[in-house]
Chain A
Amino acid sequence: MVRHVIAPVDELPPGTRKFLTIDARPIAVFNIKGEFFGLLNRCPHQGAALCEGPLIGLAQSSDPGEIEYTRLGEIIRCPWHGWEFDIRTGQSYCDPKRFRAKTYPANVEPGSSVVKGPYVAETIAVSVESDYVVVDL
């Protein structure tokens, strides 16, 4: 597993996502209310760019007429067929036994730690004063 520095934290404020290609793999990193999530930008169902879909909540029903809408903004919905995946785990809510979206750990590291490495960040100038989003893959 290699740690990649992908952006200063300021460039990825809450509610945004960043698309990038690392080792020929299309990745997206999301900032959801200050938490960071990395996801392979390919739907395991038919290969669409999964991370271009909307972030929605999880609608569940214990009984007909009873609807709970939770996890707001934590479910990614595929732009083609609407398959839903948990952005924390990659779990599919349509067919959890056969399909799982690929997730990558993403978090924030201080510049003082990033300059020491081992990180890969050729395209980013790192300074000790800033914090950086780091994704592992």
Chain B
Amino acid sequence: MNVQFRSGAEPASSVGVKTAIADCDIHPARATATELYPYLAKRWHAHLETYGKHPYQGMMEGPPYPKAQPNASRRDAWPPDGGPQGSSLSFMQQQHLDPNNVALGVLCPLNTGQGIRNQDLSAALATAINDWQIDKWTSQDPRLKGSIVVANEDGPAAAAEIRKRAGDKNFVQVLLLSRNVEPLGQRRYWPIYEAAEEAGLPIGVHAFGFGGNPITASGWPSFYIEEMVGHSQCQQTALASIVLEGVFERHPKLKMVMIEAGFGWAPSLSWRLDKSWQRLKSEVPHVKRPPSEYIRDHIFWTTQPMEDPERRDHLFDVIDWVGWDKLLFATDYPHWDYDEPSRVLPAGVSDANREAFYLGNARKLYGLS
């Protein structure tokens, strides 16, 4: 009989899954406010300290809604050496990548300079974040791959950044957020799609954004919980815009990943789009096929936060519609609504589907098989 003491709390011990997984939504953070300075021209250091970042949204600093946990992160994810959650590679390896056997981790940096009004600064920050991803993360751990951050409201600058990074194996996708100045299918964003298709890179559309629009289509709600569920609304309007503006007609090889916005709504949105399209086809003649077909052919979905209906057969019904070949497992580490890999998928899934869900689909989409 041994009674072992430890002086303080250790990080949570995950119930590790035995097989390797892909985590298609990891959020790396800067340890300090000036960590990006080596990648930014001196003029931007002075600019940031004098004027700051001026976003489209009404608030100068921080997100429009408070988060449930510090930095919206797991309370056990503070690196022991200091800095915010997600800012230490060694602690990320120790707490997440190693015990969960993450073979492929896709980085999605947030708070990067997307959605700020000064377009030159937005582009400079995007370039800096991309260089920082290589230096601090992808060159230090081959399991990690970056997302090309772009000045999302400046199509030509964004396209130039994508072309500059094309062929660079440190990156596996282009990163956009769901809430921009306009719905994502509109023409100001087309240069981004053209450059991504040309580079053979999928576009990841992550929930959140700083375009200045409310999280809901009916105005600003009162609670953080409304922002949390509002992400699926934003993602639906962004996706409907992308399909109805004809983005996939113009770019038949382009793939997109809906990140952290759920997938349970995919069938109902598609049914409604198809029904209206049958009646209103003459308004959008450039949409040549039923909208659901574009969605099935072009869209992938990250799983976190996983749909969790009372009856698991309802989950499987939705996945049957979406396709077992279209889901990409994600944890959202180090954020508080993290999904524990071993607890996400109910029993009764075939080995082939399980492997596709956890790793195979991601490797295929990101060209890493």
CB pair B69–A82 under 8 Å, yes or no, is yes
Other-chain residue from A46, A53, A121 in contact with B3 (beta carbon distance below 8 A): A121
Q: How far is the CA of A26 from the CA of B336 in the complex (A)?
A: 22
Other-chain residue from B68, B76, B337 in contact with A52 (beta carbon distance below 8 A): B76
Say whether B62 faces chain A, with CB atoms less than 8 Å apart: no
Q: How far is the CA of A20 from the CA of B336 in the complex (A)?
A: 25
CB pair B75–A122 under 8 Å, yes or no, is no
Q: How far is the CA of A51 from the CA of B343 in the complex (A)?
A: 19
CB pair B13–A81 under 8 Å, yes or no, is no
Given known contacts A47-B15, A48-B76, A49-B11, A82 and B68 CB-to-CB distance under 8 angstroms: yes
CB pair A47–B76 under 8 Å, yes or no, is no
Residues of B within 8 A of A47 (CB): 12, 14-15, 340, 342-343
CB pair A122–B12 under 8 Å, yes or no, is no
Interface size band for A: 20 to 34
Count B-side interface residues using an 8 Å CB cutoff. 26
Q: How far is the CB of B77 from chain A (nearest CB, A)?
A: 8
Given known contacts A47-B14, A48-B12, A80 and B74 CB-to-CB distance under 8 angstroms: yes
Residues of B within 8 A of A32 (CB): none
Say whether A79 faces chain B, with CB atoms less than 8 Å apart: yes
Residues of B within 8 A of A51 (CB): 9
Say whether B8 faces chain A, with CB atoms less than 8 Å apart: yes
Residues of A within 8 A of B11 (CB): 49
Other-chain residue from B5, B9, B340 in contact with A46 (beta carbon distance below 8 A): B340
CB pair A81–B337 under 8 Å, yes or no, is yes
Q: How far is the CB of A85 from chain B (nearest CB, A)?
A: 15
Say whether B1 faces chain A, with CB atoms less than 8 Å apart: yes
Say whether A61 faces chain B, with CB atoms less than 8 Å apart: no
Other-chain residue from A21, A45, A79, A124 in contact with B75 (beta carbon distance below 8 A): A79
Given known contacts A26-B13, A47-B343, A53 and B75 CB-to-CB distance under 8 angstroms: yes
Residues of B within 8 A of A4 (CB): 3
Could you give, for residues 61-99 of chain B, a 1 whenever the CB lies within 8 Å of some chain A CB and a 0 otherwise?
000000011000011100000000000000000000000
Say whether A62 faces chain B, with CB atoms less than 8 Å apart: no
CB pair B336–A82 under 8 Å, yes or no, is yes
**Additional A-B contact list (5), CB under 8 Å, known A6-B5, A121-B3:** A22-B4, A45-B343, A49-B13, A53-B75, A80-B337
- Residues in chain A within 8 A of chain B (CB atoms): 2, 4, 6-7, 18-23, 26, 45-49, 51-54, 79-82, 120-124
- What are 23 A-B residue pairs whose CB atoms fall within 8 Å in the complex? A19-B9, A20-B3, A20-B6, A21-B4, A22-B3, A26-B13, A46-B340, A47-B14, A47-B342, A48-B76, A49-B12, A49-B13, A52-B9, A53-B75, A54-B75, A79-B69, A80-B75, A80-B337, A80-B340, A82-B69, A82-B336, A120-B3, A121-B3
The 4 A-B residue pairs whose C-beta atoms are closest, nearest first, are: A79-B75, A49-B12, A46-B340, A52-B9
